[in-house]
């Protein structure tokens, strides 16, 4: 899955990409599906971000320009990598999905939160006490 070239027997090596108009899934502007190894899928996700997110640039001393996405590049890349790292690979048709809306980005996978952590707790920024192994 890291360096493969033929993914016929690996339906998990897919990435669903969508850009929706507005804040619901009712109307989409772009809808794609990519297949490949993990490196290719991360690159496809980053290309999709560059295609659909705002890009600003700053010129320094007229010598070079520094471009920046409206959401930091490193944060986007880390989110996609984490979606693959923490996916439950045991599901037969598990894939990662990336959806861009006017007001947010959603990245989903077939993973789930550990038993002691809930999405609500994370949204409230609660400190989670983990037991020592």
In a domain, 129, yes or no: no
Q: What is the C-alpha separation between 14 and 1, in angstroms, rounded?
A: 11
Q: What is the pLDDT of residues 16-43, one digit of tens each?
A: 999 999 999 999 999 999 988 888 999 9
| Per-residue pLDDT tens over the stretch 89-112 | 666 667 899 999 999 999 998 777
In a domain, 132, yes or no: no
Poorest-confidence range of 62-66, 69-73, 78-82, 107-111?
62-66
Residue 69's pLDDT band, with cuts at 50, 70 and 90, is confident
| 42 located within any domain | yes
Domain count, the chain: 1
Flag whether 46 is in a domain: yes
Quote the mean pLDDT of the chain.
82
Residue 91 lies in a domain: yes
Q: How many residues does the chain have?
A: 133
Task: State yes or no: pLDDT of 50 exceeds 60.
Answer: yes
* pLDDT computed for residue 98 by the predictor: 96
Task: For strands 28-35 and 14-20, give the pairing.
Answer: antiparallel
In angstroms, the Cα distances linking 8 to 13, 37, 41, 98, 124 are 9, 12, 15, 22, 42
Stretch 59-63: mean pLDDT: 77
Residue 100 in any domain: the answer is yes
Least Cα distance to 38 among 10, 3, 73 occurs for 3
Residue 131 lies in a domain: no
The whole-model pTM stands at: 0.75
Residue 53 belongs to what domain range? Answer: 14-123
H/E segment holding residue 66: strand 64-69
pLDDT at residue 4 is higher than 70: no
């Amino acid at each position: 899955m890291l360096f493969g070239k033929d993914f016929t027997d690996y339906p998990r090596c897919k990435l669903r990409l969508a850009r929706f108009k507005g804040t619901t899934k009712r109307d989409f502007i772009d809808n794609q599906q990519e297949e490949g190894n993990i490196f290719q899928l991360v690159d496809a996700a980053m290309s999709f971000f560059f295609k659909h997110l705002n890009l600003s640039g700053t010129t320094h001393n007229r010598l070079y320009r520094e471009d920046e996405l409206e959401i930091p590049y490193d944060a986007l890349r880390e989110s996609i990598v984490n979606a693959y790292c923490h996916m439950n690979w045991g599901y037969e048709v598990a894939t990662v999905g990336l959806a861009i809306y006017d007001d947010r980005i959603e990245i989903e996978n077939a993973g789930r939160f550990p038993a002691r952590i809930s999405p609500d707790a994370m949204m409230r920024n609660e400190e989670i006490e983990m037991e020592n192994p």
